[in-house]
Amino acid sequence: MFLIDYRGYGRSEGEPDLGPVIEDVRSGYRWLQGQQELPLIVLGQSLGGALGGFVAATETPAPAAVVLDAPVASYPRIAAEVARRHWLTWPLAPLAASAMPRQYNPDSVIDRLAAPLLIFRSDDDRVVPPSHADTLFERATAPKVRIKTTGRHTATFNDEANRQGLLDFLDAHLGGAAKASRQGASGERQ
C-alpha cells in the first residue's frame, strides 16, 4: 500500500495548488509503476478520487484497476455547488466555478481510462453530491461497476458489504493476482 500526502495536505509542505498536486500524484503513480511487484490498483476518495481518476486516465501504462469513492467529477461544478449551500455565498456560485481550473477535471478524461473501474457513491453524502460519481460512471467506457451505498462521506469501507464488494470487483477483474495478494500462508483471507 502506498499513501500519498500531496503538497499542502497532511504532513506535506507547500501550498495546495491543483496543478502541482496533480504532479505529486503523477510522481507517486510513476514510482509505483516502476515497482511491478503486484498489480497497481488506484483507490481514491473524495478529492483523492478526482486526482487518482484523472491521473489513472491520463497515464500509461494504465493501472490494473481503479476504485473511486465519492469522487469529484468537476472542480468548477463542486465549487459552484458548495457556494450554493449557504444563502450568503449562493450569489457567488458562478464566480466560484469560474475561478476553478478545468484542465484537470476527471469527467473530461474518464472515457480514456483503460482499466476496470469501480465507483462507490452514497445518497447520504452531503459533501460531494452522488451525481458526481454518476457522471463519471456514465462517461467511463472501461469495464465499470457502480455500487450505491449509504452513509456519510467517505465512510464506505466502514461497511463489511462494501469491503466485500471491493474484493469481489478485484477478484473479477484481476483474478488470481487479487486473491494471492490477500492470502497468507494458511490460505485464509486476511
Residues with Cβ within 8 Å of 100's Cβ and at least 6 positions away in sequence, in order, are: 75, 76, 79
| Cα 157 off chain centre by | 14
What pLDDT is attached to residue 182? Answer: 52
Identify the pLDDT of residue 95.
Answer: 96
> What does the pLDDT look like over 124-151, one tens digit per residue?
999 999 999 999 999 999 799 999 999 9
Question: Any long-range contacts for 167-172 (C-beta under 8 Å, 24+ apart)?
Answer: 169/65, 169/67, 169/116, 169/118, 169/145, 170/41, 170/65
User: pLDDT of 177-186, one tens digit each?
Assistant: 555 555 543 3
pLDDT for the residue 6: 78
Spell out the domain ranges in the chain: 18-177
Give pLDDT, residue 130.
97
CA distance 153 to 82: 14
Say how far apart CA 154 and CA 127 lie, in whole Å. Answer: 9
Instruction: Give pLDDT, residue 179.
Output: 57
Has domain 18-177 been given CATH number 3.40.50.1820?
Answer: yes
Bridge partners, 144 (sequence order): 117
Q: Select from 142, 162, 144, 143 the least CA-distant residue to 152.
A: 162
Exposure b/e, 99-122, CB count within 10 A at least 16 = b: ebeeebbbbebbeebebbbbbbbb
Beta strands (DSSP E) in the chain are 41-45, 65-69, 117-122, 144-149
Low-confidence ranges of the chain (pLDDT < 70): 176-190
